[in-house]
Structure 1
Amino acid sequence: MERLPKAIVPIIIAVVIAIIFIANSTVNVNSGEAGVLFKRFDGGVVTDGEPLKEGFHIVAPWNTVFIYEVRQQTIDESMQVLSSNGLDIKLDATIWFEPTYDQLGLLHKERGQKYISRLIQPAVRSATRAVVGRYKPDELYAQKRESIQNEIYDETNQLLKNQYVQVNRILVRDVSLPPTIKQAIERKLKQEQESLEYEFRLEKATKEKQRQEIEAEGKARANEILNASLSENILKEKGIQATIELSKSENSKIIVIGSGENGMPIILGNN
């Protein structure tokens, strides 16, 4: 192979240097990400400007861009904590979080790219210990899970205040108690349920008895009123009316013999 002319060699060197320069000066920020610029010779991390947005950027080759995911992210935590009486409680939780976009430079400067393990996880664990430590095992078992997770969420946000991240939600997936404690609580809850059921049946029977007594008293009162209103003359009149109606029937054979003890006729007959 023939040797290249001496005039071409500098051109080739310049092209290679340009390619290296351009390759080290271009940064691509993908969707859902943002970049923090580190100026090696001009003050370090840029904290007073907006992070690099999605897209293609050109920076000086001696500077560095650190890429952060700025979408909402999740982490799962499985923790062993103590209840108020010192028993081990296992709690599984999911945390939704995201870095504060306009403070991404401060987050990188003070916490770094490992901010999840350095900041969020310790805060969640500390908050969980504080919340669970206020309850006894039976309270944790019976307490509404939503109430517990809301308390953990509030405690976590308090710990992460002014830390350049935001926790959007905490979900408590499971609260596990020691087997013996769980069985004892279940027996207690079963007994309470049976007691409530017995009280319900007793109350129902009492109400039914009261209803029957009221109904009987009503009937007795009605009979008293009816008996008081039925005088001897009214009874005679009713008997005469009944006799007249029977005599009008085509299918009746009636024989009237004298009168009874109360002055009413004695009626003999059949249909």
Structure 2
Amino acid sequence: MRTITYLLAIVCLGLASCTVIRQGEVGVKRKYGKLNPNVFDAGLVSFNPFSTRVLKVPIRTTNQEVRMNLPSKEGLTVESEISILYSVEKAKVPYILEDVGQNFSSVLIMNVFRSAAADVSAQYMAKDMHSGMRSQIEQQIQEKMHESLRSRGVVVERVLMKSIKLPDELSRAIERKLAAEQEAQQMEYILDRERKEAERRKIEAQSTREAQKILAEGLVKEIIELRSIEAFRELANSPNAKIIITDGKAPLLINPQRD
């Protein structure tokens, strides 16, 4: 019985003296409060549970979501939800733990982010954060964070402004402006259509006038007389009763009845 107890104690001690570092993490041993500069990769790591602890730090890309109020250039407050994608350099993990501690995300990264975001957003109008300039603001925040964190071993991969809520009055003003722009575009479309229709009518009128001019130039006196003779000839040969009125200038075929 005593042997079984010893075996169980040895097994428990062996389990307590090992830890598993998962994929995307690294481990650093801390013995009597002092950090070991060696970094352990994913796998099984043994240690003395009485004097040593293994601190695990993720080095994969981490998504940190933050809600904060951003100041604008005109002094307004813009509610925002922003995601920070960052990772930690493997070789710098012991130094980060020594300088900042395991809570480096809130102590270091979040404070740097809040300062950088406030500095950048204060250079832009509130409406710019809701427009196509959002990507430019994201890029500047990322670069500003990179300047402060790169030497500490933190790589800021992206800063994404997921949602922006403008003040109600400004939102209504933007909506009114967009509606006015749409109305102006619609009116411009109508005017352009009318101009094109007027141009079409003008071209059509010019074509008709030129055709009439060409026809008039071709109607010389001899052709008119010939056409008149042909017309009167057809009338004269017609069996129907008819009355022909003429001014005497046009050629006229007359067949008088004789006794």
Q: Structure 1 residues 255, 125: closer, same or farther in 2, change over 3 A?
A: farther
Gaps spanning 5+ residues in structure 1: where? 247-252, 267-271
* 1:30 corresponding residue in structure 2: 22
Q: Structure 1 residues 263, 241: closer, same or farther in 2, change over 3 A?
A: closer
**Cα RMSD after superposing both structures:** 3.5
Q: After the TM superposition, which of the residue ranges 13-22 and 152-161 deviates more from structure 2?
A: 13-22
> Residues of 2 paired with 1:265 and 1:151: CA distance?
100
* 1:46 corresponding residue in structure 2: 36
Gaps spanning 5+ residues in structure 2: where? 255-259
Q: Is the 8 A contact 1:36 1:45 kept in 2?
A: yes
What SS class does the counterpart of residue 98 from structure 2 fall into? helix
Give the superposition deviation at 1:89: 1.0
Match of 2:58 among 41, 49, 69: 69
Q: Structure 1 residues 240, 168: closer, same or farther in 2, change over 3 A?
A: farther
What SS class does the counterpart of residue 220 from structure 1 fall into? helix
Q: Structure 1 residues 233, 176: closer, same or farther in 2, change over 3 A?
A: same
Q: Is the 8 A contact 1:236 1:264 kept in 2?
A: no
* 2:128 corresponding residue in structure 1: 139
> Residues of 1 paired with 2:139 and 2:122: CA distance?
15
> Residues of 2 paired with 1:265 and 1:124: CA distance?
108
> Residues of 2 paired with 1:96 and 1:179: CA distance?
30
> Residues of 2 paired with 1:113 and 1:81: CA distance?
28
* 1:99 corresponding residue in structure 2: 88
Query: Aligned partner of 1:209: which letter?
Result: A
Q: Structure 1 residues 35, 227: closer, same or farther in 2, change over 3 A?
A: same
* 1:59 corresponding residue in structure 2: 47
> Residues of 1 paired with 2:206 and 2:18: CA distance?
98
Query: Aligned partner of 1:33: which letter?
Result: E
Q: Aligned pairs, how many?
A: 248
* 2:213 corresponding residue in structure 1: 224
Give the superposition deviation at 1:15: 7.0
Does 2:164 correspond to 1:172? no
Q: Is the 8 A contact 1:259 1:265 kept in 2?
A: no
